[in-house]
Amino acid sequence: MKTRNTKTGKQTRFWSSTAITSQAEDYPRPQLRRENWINLDGQWQFAIDHDATFEHDEVPFGATNIIVPFAPETPASQVGDTGFYKAVWYRRNFETPALSKGERLVLHFGAVDWSCEVYVNGLLAGSHEGGYTPFSLDITRLLRDGGEQTVTVRAHDDPHDMSKPRGKQDWRRDAHSIWYPRTTGIWQTVWMEVQPRVAIKSLHWSADVASWAIGLNAEFTGSARGLSLHVVLKKDEQILADDRYSLQDNVLSRRIELPDPGIEDERFGLLWSPEHPQLITAELTLSDSSGRSETVIDRVVSYTAMRTVSVDHERFILNGRPYHLALVLDQGYWEESGLTAPDANALRRDVELVKALGFNGVRKHQKIEDPRFLFLADKLGLMVWEEMPSPYAFNQRAQERLLSTWTEAIRRDISHPCIVAWVPYNESWGLPDLPLSAAQRDSQRALYYLTRSLDPSRPVIGNDGWEMVAGDIIAVHDYDGDSQRMAARYSNAHTGSEAREHLLKSERPGSRELVLDGFDHSGKPVMLTEFGGICFSRDEGAWGYKRAGSVEEFARQYQDCIQAVRAPRVFAGFCYTQFTDTYQEANGLLYMDRSPKYDIGQIARHTRGER
C-alpha cells in the first residue's frame, strides 16, 4: 500500500494491514520466528487525549485515522500533529484466526511510547511501561465467540516528563539543536500469532569460542515437564549439531559442542565478523513423545553465531585478535516517519549504506533500534553499540524507569552477534551533577555493574563521552574544529602511562573531565566516539558543530578529521558524527533522504584513511 503525503507530495510505503507473512526480514521478532503471523499494522481509528482524561469506554473516536506503526507526530501517520498532548487512543477490529483446542492468541507490541493499557472487547488485557521495549499479552480469554474482535490501546506520554527515558525527543514544541520531534504512542509493529498452550517463549544464545561450543537458554510457557526439545544447528545446509533434550521444567540451559576442525582457517570460516558474517541457523521443535507417536507442539526458527568480543592491552578484541573499530553515529530517524523505518527495505538500505561508506559499525545513538535492523546487521555484517535513551532528570522515578527499560532491552537483544558493546549513559545525560554528586556517580557504577552482570560477554561503556567512573572502554567526545590541534592533543598519549594520565586528567574536550574519582583506566582502550559534526546544508538555519561552504570544502574537512583521528596510535577505534542529517542537525555524510553529499566511493576512501 502506498499513500501520498499531502504536505510534501512524497510517496511513503506502508505495510499492509492484517497481512500474513513468513519473510524473515519483515518478521518483528527475528530470533524467534514461527511460520505464520498476523500483522495488525495499517489503518486504526485514532483520538488525541490532550489532558489524559478519557476513559476507555468513552473515547470520542471520530473520523480521524492513523497509519500504525507511525507516530502521530510524523507525516507518514497521516496525522502529523506535533503539538503537546499527554495521551492518545487507538482502536481497530480484527477477525479471530482459527484456534484449535488449547491454542492461545497472543498479541504483541514492538514498542509503545511511553506507557499503555490494552483493552480487548472493552476488557483490560494488560499494561506496559517503557517506550522502547516489546511486550506480549495472551488475549484468548477475552475473545468473543466467533466473528470480529476489537482492540483499543491507550498510550500515555507526557511531553514534559523529564524523568522518563526519552532520548532525543524534544521537550519544546519545535525541534531545536540536537533534539528532534517527539514520538508518542505506537511506533513499532503490532502483530498476533496463534501459539500452543505450551510454547517456546524465549531463547538466549551465547558463544564459547575457546571451547568451540554454543550456549542455549530456553524458556517455555505452560508446563513443559515431560516434553522434549529437538535442536538442529546448521551452517548453511551443513548440520553442526542435532540434539534432543528431555525437559524437566520450564527452563532449559545447555552447552552444545560443535565439531572443531582444529585448523585455524577452517575455524575462521565459522566465526562471525563484519567481513564474514557467518550465521548459524537454529531449528527448534517442541514435541510430546509420551504417546504411540511423536506429536509436534511448537516449532520455531532462530539463529546464532560464533563470535567473541573483549578488551585487552588497550585494544578492542574480536575473535581473539585486535580489531580497529570504525563506527558512525546513527540516530535512526527518517524525515517522513521519525523513529520508525518506512519498511524493512529502509533498514536494509541503512546497513548497506554504512558499509558502503567504509565503516564496520554504528553507535545507535539514544535509540533502542527495531530488532529487524539488528537482524540485518547480523546478516550483512555490521557491528552495533547499543545505547540506552536518556532521561534528563535524576530522581528515584527516573532511576527505576531507566533500570527497568535497560534490563528489558538487554534481555531482548543479548543474542544478537552484531552487538559488541552496551552504553547505559551518554554524556552524563540524566546525571546533571555527576562531578558533585556521589549518588549520581554511584548510579553510573550501578548501571555499569548491572549490565556486566546481565551480560559479562561484552564491554560496557559507563558514560560515553566524559566523566567516567566505571567502564571497559574510555569513550571520548571531542568536537574541536581544528583537526591539527585535535591530532596533537592525542598524538603522544600512547608513549607511556604519564602521557596517557595527562590526556585523561588534564585535557578537557567539551570542558569536562574525562575520568573521575581516581578511576583506574589502565589497560582500557581509548576511543574517540564523537567527533566531526561538519554541517553542510543549503539551509542557512541548519545546525552543526562547524560548517562547510561547499561540497569540496566538506570533503576536505571530513578527510582531515579522519586523518587526525587515525594518526594517533592511542585510539583503538572511532565513531564519526554522523551518518545522516537528522532534521535541523545537518552534519551527516548523507542527507536525511539517504543521498550522499559527495561520491560514496570517495567517502569510503576517506573513511579508510586513503587519499
Three-class DSSP labels, 452-495: HHHCCCCCEECCEECCECCECCEEEECCCCCHHHHHHHHHCCCC
Where would I find the beta strands (DSSP E) of 258-351? 280-288, 295-304, 309-312, 315-318, 321-322, 325-330
Residue at a domain's end among 304, 337, 369? 304
Same domain for 163 and 106, yes or no, is yes
Q: Which residues, listed in sequence order, are joined to residue 232 by a DSSP beta bridge? A: 242, 283
Across residues 2-6, what is the average pLDDT? Answer: 36
| pLDDT score of 492 more than 90 | no
Same domain for 71 and 19, yes or no, is yes
Across residues 572-598, what is the average pLDDT? Answer: 97
Cβ neighbors of 241 (< 8 A, separation 6 or more) are 214, 231, 232, 233, 256, 257, 258
Same domain for 169 and 45, yes or no, is yes
412 inside domain: no
Please choose, from the candidates 473, 474, 469, the residue with its C-alpha nearest in 3D space to the C-alpha of residue 444. Answer: 469
288 inside domain: yes
CA 58 distance to own-chain centroid: 36
Same domain for 137 and 207, yes or no, is no
Does residue 201 sit in helix, strand or coil?
A: strand
Q: Tell me the pLDDT tens digit for each residue of 340-383.
A: 999 999 999 999 999 999 999 999 999 999 999 999 999 999 99
The Cα–Cα gap between 93 and 77 comes to 18
Across residues 305-317, what is the average pLDDT? Answer: 95
Task: Determine the pLDDT at residue 165.
Answer: 97
Same domain for 187 and 218, yes or no, is no
CA 589 distance to own-chain centroid: 21
How open is the CA angle 425-510-314, to the nearest 5 degrees?
A: 60
Q: Tell me the pLDDT tens digit for each residue of 527-560.
A: 999 999 999 998 888 999 999 999 999 999 999 9
Q: Tell me the pLDDT tens digit for each residue of 243-261.
A: 999 999 999 999 999 998 8
Same domain for 84 and 125, yes or no, is yes
Q: Tell me the pLDDT tens digit for each residue of 67-120.
A: 999 999 999 999 999 999 999 999 999 999 989 999 999 999 999 999 999 999
Amino acid at 82: T
Cβ neighbors of 499 (< 8 A, separation 6 or more) are 492, 493
The Cα–Cα gap between 525 and 314 comes to 4
Task: Determine the pLDDT at residue 22.
Answer: 39
All 3 cell numbers of residue 496? 607511556
Cβ neighbors of 293 (< 8 A, separation 6 or more) are none
Across residues 143-147, what is the average pLDDT? Answer: 87
Q: Which of 144-148, 297-301, 411-415, 467-471 has the lowest mean pLDDT?
A: 144-148
Same domain for 169 and 86, yes or no, is yes
Domain total of the chain: 2
Q: Write the Ramachandran bin of 154: left for phi over 0, alpha for psi from -120 to 50, otherwise beta.
A: beta
Domain that holds residue 257: 199-304
Amino acid at 538: R
Same domain for 180 and 205, yes or no, is no
Q: Predicted confidence band at 6 (pLDDT cuts at 50, 70, 90)?
A: very low
Contact assessment for residue 27 and residue 33, using Cβ atoms and an 8 Å cutoff? yes
- Percent share of the chain, pLDDT over 90: 84
Does residue 414 sit in helix, strand or coil?
A: coil
* CATH number assigned to the domain comprising residue 89: 2.60.120.260
Same domain for 57 and 157, yes or no, is yes
Across residues 179-188, what is the average pLDDT? Answer: 97
13 inside domain: yes
Task: Determine the pLDDT at residue 500.
Answer: 80
Contact assessment for residue 528 and residue 478, using Cβ atoms and an 8 Å cutoff? yes
Task: Determine the pLDDT at residue 3.
Answer: 36
Q: In Å, what is the CA distance from 187 to each residue of 138, 305, 403, 472, 596?
A: 21, 29, 22, 33, 27
340 inside domain: no
Most confident among 18-22, 402-406, 482-486 (mean pLDDT): 402-406
Q: Predicted confidence band at 499 (pLDDT cuts at 50, 70, 90)?
A: confident
349 membership: H or E segment, kind and range:
helix 344-356
Task: Determine the pLDDT at residue 495.
Answer: 67
127 inside domain: yes
121 inside domain: yes
The Cα–Cα gap between 529 and 509 comes to 12
312 inside domain: no
Peptide bond into 114 cis (omega under 30): yes
The Cα–Cα gap between 418 and 303 comes to 12
Across residues 220-228, what is the average pLDDT? Answer: 94
79 inside domain: yes
The Cα–Cα gap between 80 and 246 comes to 53
pTM for the whole structure: 0.94
| pLDDT score of 238 more than 60 | yes
Same domain for 90 and 183, yes or no, is yes
Average per-residue pLDDT in the chain?
Answer: 92
Contact assessment for residue 17 and residue 43, using Cβ atoms and an 8 Å cutoff? yes
- Percent share of the chain, pLDDT over 70: 96
> What is the pairing mode between strands 112-113 and 190-195?
unpaired
Does residue 406 sit in helix, strand or coil?
A: helix
Task: Determine the pLDDT at residue 24.
Answer: 66
Task: Determine the pLDDT at residue 365.
Answer: 97
Q: Which residue has the cell 549513559?
A: 425
Under DSSP, the state recorded for 95 is E
Tally of residues, the chain:
611
Same domain for 270 and 133, yes or no, is no
Q: Predicted confidence band at 163 (pLDDT cuts at 50, 70, 90)?
A: very high
Contact assessment for residue 227 and residue 278, using Cβ atoms and an 8 Å cutoff? no
Q: Which residue has the cell 533534539?
A: 179
Same domain for 255 and 149, yes or no, is no
Task: Determine the pLDDT at residue 574.
Answer: 97
Please choose, from the candidates 374, 351, 273, the residue with its C-alpha nearest in 3D space to the C-alpha of residue 317. Answer: 273
The Cα–Cα gap between 439 and 194 comes to 47
Task: Determine the pLDDT at residue 17.
Answer: 35
Residue at a domain's end among 304, 337, 360? 304
Q: Which of 142-146, 554-558, 583-587 has the lowest mean pLDDT?
A: 142-146
* CATH number assigned to the domain comprising residue 285: 2.60.40.10
Residue 455, exposed/middle/buried by CB under 10 A (0-12, 13-18, 19+)? middle
Residue at a domain's end among 193, 220, 235? 193
All 3 cell numbers of residue 269? 570460516
- Residue 368 CB neighbour total at 10 angstroms: 27
